[in-house]
A and B are shown apart, each in its own frame.
Chain A
């Protein structure tokens, strides 16, 4: 490895790969994040791609990006602003210029900066660097297209295939910038194109040449050094929020001894869960791709009635369609999990972007008094934990559970320490007792207020359930006025009692904080980082972050009432803040809301908290 002319030592760095949606930026970013993870950095990634499969080439709407944040300390977010931007065309440069950190490095494929592409990207002059006010940055104007062609000219590949390898050239160059090994990526290329040696050779060559190009031009650019992070020993892999949800259910199926059933209809950004579980026939998963979301949940309810661990997955518009059937699961008291990977709404809204605006829908979006458990995951990898616990609560308490994640968690990845499944709790299935002479379908365990599960096939437990109100004492249909009131109260009480098995709310930061920051779900990484950074700058702050929303943790009021200044931060117009006020009318909260289809940035959070601290 050549000597390095100028080395920047850093704790953490954010790199963004950006290009046209056909430029292979998602793969490039994924490969880079793998290499960094294997090197021992903590990482967090986030893809950002257009909702159209083939948005017009060369335009801003067609830009596809993949951001990787890695560091030698723990990282909780994919980062706000980037240190290094790889822009494969002018549109990518234009779309991302405002996200550059001062003094950062831009690698630009200058070959792509012809008149046509500049105009398509909306540049008025032929100097995109000046026009985007990037003059004071480190600009690496690399003729990537020409160099790729040059590198592959003797390999006998057609022009299209050559151009498709540009991303590997760029990746090689970035590996040089960070002094990373090319081994993992070469392994990947060999495996992926095993059937086509020519393609393997070409990609490996381009990758090497990109790396060497970095070496040659090094006088022009600094290289970054990030040491491995100090992370817990063990085996790791990269996990996205969507795959983590799927895997949480697989783990729950194993721990409960139940067969796993998924009924679902594809919808962005939840589809990947359906795809992952469809591939898991090896573990016996039954997946039913339904004709719509209603059939998705209704098959799930049927499978639960028949005794499976049954789940359904969707995003906001799909949750709306499932509302009536969730009510059926509430009154029939059958265990199901409904996953809602939230996206920007209302209606079709912003399908590929993130938002937290389905909270009220999850809590109340049904007819009648229809209480369901609502849980929210808060990082890509803890989607595994919360999917597991959603299933555990559903089965043990005989109730529908709604698990909220969002587009940001679903597509983001983090390194995940492989769990030892022996350390995970068992899931106890409340099977009905055939020998209990007083059994009826709505007989309750008075401690939990939940009924038992009598599965078809067992002689002696034949029974009928359904959407009509049932008599508290026999389970037969009842239209009695007082019985209905009693049953409505029982169903609510059953859900509230789950607070007994839910962990208490944890306070992160200063007990005597001047501001309590409150959040829920997918905003954890950004909120925590902002609070943590302000604390190290000498401010007194604390964070209370919620994963359990209905029921709320037992100590919620006790924690909140200690603080005079509470700011509830969420990616909607204040739904959780309203919910807290509803539950605790004497708690006053401030709000910080953002509804742009984007996560918070740590910078905007810190700025906001600072002004609050000064008030």
Chain B
């Protein structure tokens, strides 16, 4: 089976997470699959051409014309495309940050810059693994499921579930702006466990209920404007899904 790993506009933190977390086990991945494209790990087969692959993992958002062209080629040559990480699945901070920047003011010679988009704005995506960065365990789980023709799943619970299981004090109770109730779990409540509020880097949870959340934080005296600002930060384009009931 052929795998390919691509990187569009991003910090490349998702691919480095896979590389460092797999560590010496990367050899196992290498021996069991044909990996024809994996930026940072190997020279691509066929130079700059996009090889045929059974499963393509794509990290990064679409910002440049080169991203867009490469992504279309990837779709054409891959049977199954997985968005790897939050940039690819929602556009991440770049989605919000690139809006309102004067991109017409300056023309570059070879690169055209447009507002950041998740890859699903350009091509059909078969599966999304979110997270900033993506979780190596979830990647391995998804890969094993996909090669066995089983649909992979991402957690349907919110960050609060794992946070409570760890016995952390609730940050909302301390009147800090935490997006835990809206955010997809599976990160092991990494941020809230060190006392940093959740910024929902994995996108909205299946059970996210914005109205209920806003009512709750109002009762606790947490800043609503600030919460909505943070919600736009990582949730990128997906913020529309969460906000659809919000007037």
Q: Do A and B come together as binding partners?
A: no
Instruction: Name A's B-contacting residues (CB within 8 A).
Output: none
